[in-house]
Amino acid sequence: MPKELEKPSEVDKIFLRDQTYETARRFSNGYDIHFLETEWRNMLRIKNTTPETPDGSFIGFVKWNVEKNGSAYQ
C-alpha cells in the first residue's frame, strides 16, 4: 500500500451529509456509492488535499467517474 494511504489524514475526518449520498446515488449510474467514496478519499490522500466543500467535491467525483468509465450497468 502506498505510504500516502497508510497514515491517517485530514481526509479521514471528513463527514458527508446524508443528502450528499442521496444526490451522489442519482448520478452514480449503478456504481456502489461506498466504493466511490473510498476511491474519492484515496485520491484526496494521494493529492494531499482537503476540499473546501467536501460534499460538492464528492458529487463532482462521482459525475467524473461515470463520465470517464461509463455506466456500471454495461
Other Cβ atoms closer than 10 A to 16:
16
Name the DSSP letter for residue 10. Answer: G
Q: Where are the domains of the chain?
A: 15-69
Nearest to 17 by CA among 1, 37, 35, 2: 37
User: Would you place residue 3 in the very low, low, confident or very high pLDDT band (cuts 50, 70, 90)?
Assistant: low
Asked if the model's pLDDT at residue 4 lies above 60, the reply is no
Evaluate whether 4 touches 46 at the Cβ level (below 8 Å). Answer: yes
State the pTM of this model.
0.85
Q: Collect all residues with Cβ–Cβ distance below 8 Å to 30 and sequence separation of at least 6.
A: 71, 72, 73
Report how far residue 18's alpha carbon sits from residue 44's, in angstroms, rounded to the nearest whole number: 20
Q: How confident is the model over 38-72, as pLDDT tens digits?
A: 999 999 999 999 999 999 999 999 999 999 999 88
